[in-house]
């Protein structure tokens, strides 16, 4: 077969007068153009497009050694079905006679060869259709995934909104309660026991459980029952002083410990409600409701907001921040910046946890680097193999398969897109024990139209 092809090519597709050189993007055949030539691709790549249907991707492709124009050459109306363009610099040779009118043996040879060309054309189109179907399937899957992300995003925004109202009501009621109790105890100041309410309220419990166990025996001398002893130990107040104050009056001692605990509980509740409000605020910051660009974005602050969001999953990791305090404000979208830090820090935490090493550290530094603000996010995890450094920014690249962390493989793609929107860039370097993602954000960014 290849001998026959060699013969046909040299006999019918080697005439220098029947050669066309094409530059990249140059059109060989327009759509619906009448064509009586059969083209052999000497070098390069040719692609067929459907401009009338506004489809940007090629619907057929042929490389050097293949034929193009097969359909129009043989069809009844000789119309080109697609627009054929050179994908790169190419050269084609053409035959424009009637193969069925060639004399004797030549005619047999040529038609025999044409049969293989037509079959090859069929195979090629079939192959291309298969390829397109696979691509379509892939993009459909990706679309479904991003739709899932959008739904999750909307859900969390709704959640943040609802929680914001609830947390708001909770914290203002708590303030009210604390004020009422404070007023009440102030008006009863003459009673010897009330200062212990304020003691508890001011600082809460400062002793660790270990300290409490170690010091417990000091408080056992107060002569209170077991529960009251444990409660009064939590005050951290000097046992000698307490001994003098309580003076073996068990009822007074119990009352004292209760009042201290009441104050301390209010203190804890206030701390928790502030924490909850902060998290909810940060989620709202990140959400669609706040996608405004502003000239006064403080990069350090966006990092702090991101860390607040991540507090729940960052427990097992020691996160250290070293901020350059004198950073200039930049023109940016703070919600999107938060999203960058959340993604990068979350990745670091998840890789550390997956590796299960004993000391898990993430260090975040900011500094001024010429015309940019440089943010480095460094972890001491297993590292990213060099082969995949580039790949990690592509969609559908994910290492997360199990557990609470579910990866859609879109995180770093989104991060890269956002950074590019801000005119910045992201780099990664990695070796076992030290992975650094460096984000550079330009100080002078032109407002986007």
Partner 1 sequence: MDRLYIVCVDDQREVLNALADDLEILNAHVEVEICESASEAKTLIEEIDANGDLLAVVISDQVMPGTSGVDFLTQLKEDGRFPKTLKILLTGLATHEDTIQAINEAGLDQYIEKPWSQEDLVIKIKKLLTLYVLRSGLDYQSFIQVLDQTTLYEGLRART
Q: Which stretches of the chain bind partner 1, using CB under 8 A? A: 205, 208-210, 213, 226-227, 230, 234, 268, 272, 312, 315-316, 402-404
Q: Min. distance of Cβ 403 from partner 1 in angstroms?
A: 5
Question: Structure tokens of 405?
Answer: 């962390």
Q: Which CB, 136 or 202, lies closer to partner 1?
A: 202
Q: Min. distance of Cβ 142 from partner 1 in angstroms?
A: 26
Question: Structure tokens of 259?
Answer: 């009042």
Q: Min. distance of Cβ 406 from partner 1 in angstroms?
A: 10
Q: Which CB, 309 or 374, lies closer to partner 1?
A: 309
Q: Min. distance of Cβ 381 from partner 1 in angstroms?
A: 16
Q: Min. distance of Cβ 198 from partner 1 in angstroms?
A: 19
> With contact defined as beta carbons under 8 Å apart, do 255 and 276 qualify?
no
Q: Which CB, 145 or 272, lies closer to partner 1?
A: 272
Q: Min. distance of Cβ 210 from partner 1 in angstroms?
A: 5
Q: Which CB, 370 or 403, lies closer to partner 1?
A: 403
Cα 29–Cα 33–Cα 39 angle in degrees, nearest 5: 40
Cα 312 to chain centroid distance, Å, stands at: 18
Q: Min. distance of Cβ 266 from partner 1 in angstroms?
A: 12
296 vs 303: CA distance, rounded Å: 15
Q: Min. distance of Cβ 360 from partner 1 in angstroms?
A: 9
138 vs 420: CA distance, rounded Å: 25
287 vs 266: CA distance, rounded Å: 31
Q: Which CB, 228 or 419, lies closer to partner 1?
A: 228
Q: Which CB, 85 or 234, lies closer to partner 1?
A: 234
> With contact defined as beta carbons under 8 Å apart, do 397 and 370 qualify?
no
Q: Min. distance of Cβ 379 from partner 1 in angstroms?
A: 16
Q: Which CB, 371 or 402, lies closer to partner 1?
A: 402
Q: Which CB, 111 or 227, lies closer to partner 1?
A: 227
Q: Min. distance of Cβ 235 from partner 1 in angstroms?
A: 13
Q: Which CB, 103 or 312, lies closer to partner 1?
A: 312
Read off φ and ψ for residue 427, nearest 5 degrees.
-130, 155
Buried b (16+ CB within 10 A) or exposed e, 339-374: bbbbbbbbbbbbbbbbeeeeebebbbbbeeeeebbb
Tokens 């026959």 locate to 4
Q: Which CB, 99 or 263, lies closer to partner 1?
A: 263
Q: Which CB, 78 or 207, lies closer to partner 1?
A: 207
Q: Min. distance of Cβ 269 from partner 1 in angstroms?
A: 9
């Amino acid at each position: 077969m290849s001998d026959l092809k060699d013969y046909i090519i040299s006999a019918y597709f080697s005439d220098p007068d029947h050669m066309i050189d094409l530059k990249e993007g140059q059109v060989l055949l327009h759509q619906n153009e009448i064509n009586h030539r059969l083209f052999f691709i000497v070098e390069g790549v040719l692609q067929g497009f459907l401009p009338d249907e506004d489809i940007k991707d090629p619907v057929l492709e042929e490389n050097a050694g293949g034929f193009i124009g097969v359909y129009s050459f043989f069809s009844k109306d000789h119309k080109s079905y697609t627009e054929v363009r050179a994908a790169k610099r190419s050269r084609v040779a053409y035959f424009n006679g009637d193969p069925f009118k060639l004399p004797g043996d030549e005619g047999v040879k040529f038609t025999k060869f044409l049969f293989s060309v037509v079959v090859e054309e069929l195979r090629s189109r079939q192959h291309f259709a298969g390829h397109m179907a696979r691509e379509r399937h892939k993009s459909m899957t990706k679309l479904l995934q991003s739709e899932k992300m959008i739904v999750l995003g909307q859900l969390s925004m709704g959640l943040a909104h609802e929680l914001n109202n609830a947390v708001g009501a909770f914290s203002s009621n708590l303030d009210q309660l604390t004020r009422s109790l404070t007023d009440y105890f102030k008006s009863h100041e003459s009673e010897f026991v009330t200062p212990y309410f304020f003691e508890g309220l001011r600082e809460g419990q400062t002793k660790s459980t270990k300290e409490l166990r170690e010091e417990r025996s000091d408080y056992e001398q107060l002569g209170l029952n077991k529960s009251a002893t444990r409660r009064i130990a939590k005050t951290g107040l000097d046992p000698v002083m307490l001994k003098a104050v309580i003076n073996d009056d068990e009822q007074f001692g119990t009352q004292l410990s209760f009042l201290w605990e009441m104050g301390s509980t209010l203190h804890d509740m206030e701390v928790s409600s502030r924490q909850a409000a902060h998290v909810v605020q940060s989620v709202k910051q990140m959400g669609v409701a706040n996608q405004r660009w502003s000239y006064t974005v403080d990069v350090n602050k966006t990092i702090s907001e991101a860390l607040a969001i991540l507090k729940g999953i960052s427990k097992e990791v020691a996160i250290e921040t070293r901020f350059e305090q004198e950073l200039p404000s930049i023109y940016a979208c703070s919600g999107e910046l938060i999203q960058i830090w959340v993604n990068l820090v979350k990745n670091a935490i998840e890789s550390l946890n997956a590796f299960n090493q004993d000391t898990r550290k993430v260090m975040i530094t900011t500094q001024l680097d010429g015309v940019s603000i440089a943010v480095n996010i460094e972890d001491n995890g297993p590292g990213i193999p060099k082969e995949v450094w580039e790949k990690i920014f592509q969609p559908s690249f994910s290492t997360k398969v199990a557990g609470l962390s579910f990866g859609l493989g879109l995180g770093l793609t989104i991060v890269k897109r956002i950074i590019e929107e801000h005119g910045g860039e992201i780099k990664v370097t990695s070796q076992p024990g030290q992975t650094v993602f460096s984000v550079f954000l330009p100080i002078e960014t032109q407002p986007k139209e």
